[in-house]
Structure 1
């Protein structure tokens, strides 16, 4: 008897082998969430019902999960169930997800006003170097037109030519050219990677290696970055939670 857990784990492994690490992370998050909801070890995939998924949705929302995260989880589960349908282990998969929200709900932009942004930039963080680095990378992201943290982490030394930063957004492939001003260089020099064997501009990916190894370093750095940004927003009493997305919302970046 094939269980839902075995299908989820196989799907996550397949995504990882294709270097689709974000989708793999979502898949493993679904598994962890389901383990908190039910005895997934005993959940045979052919026994799945619409009622089970409706109860799971209620559990997610009651636990504080956003509707967009819930919808993302169910889109992942639908893809997994479609694989089971191809193996003749499920029928009429589209009916299993009737009544579930699987779209996208527009959320309020988490932008800072000019006073809050100045408060972040001017904060004295000499006694809190981890918060200082998070603040500096946040400000650099703002200067660089809201560059996403993943693109910041994987900037290469060769992306700078004649004082111009040229890179492609990882999500959209859109090319961007940004002339580097003095205040941008000050932050870059502070966190520049001085390892001559590393292709990366900043010391975020500290040990270049295989794609999975570098991806794990990025995800660890992102978690720490968001943790420190949250601590910074509390310390400065901003009234807005800083995240890796906030700098993007404070620019015209798309």
Structure 2
């Protein structure tokens, strides 16, 4: 969809409702472009935690792949459900949840070979698709053994503890919750892959959201910043115990640039933070 005016980038407050509405609209408008640009890297059934290319098959952050069989797994902010499709291939029983209808249409296309304009998302192969807000999960308490999110939902919500508490509610005691986000240190640097992205340009401690808004001032994209300490406290406030914090290093084989991620920056500063949590 072509907009009449280029969005204006600014820093201002953005409520949970405004952030959710902006995220749904942005991903519905940009899902096609996103999948065209990044689909080859993400694959149809690959579980990758971020632009560095760390695979769950290698990292085992959800536990040994051999132990995933039969486990009920919830993926938050699943996009086209590539991660869930990998989980299904290991014998897990995944549910892929996303706010964007268009992203889930891509999940359906990948699972069935149908066009992206095909039927309403429901089931994609052995992956169940659910369109819902991560802050109000439509599942019973203690429904899942594991939950995961690769850059989904958490960076885009004004109240991350609300989402984390919802995840805790639907997890069984002792269940593992693993999620990746942009590494908080990146907030202090320009979002540029080249040398200009290596100089601090903003305060790491400024939590004011990044907002792109249209000519009327309506937010069309919102991203929220939390410091590393904020993220740890959010995890604890939601009833989780943090058992690991993974900061993937940039591998030699990865020559791609993805937004502000690049080999140049990735070899100097972390780009992704992965929080491995257990429901107490």
Query: What TM-score results when the alignment is normalised by the length of structure 2?
Result: 0.26
Tell which has more relative contact order, 1 or 2 (C-alpha 8 A, sep 6+): 2
Structure with larger Rg: 1
Higher helix share: 1
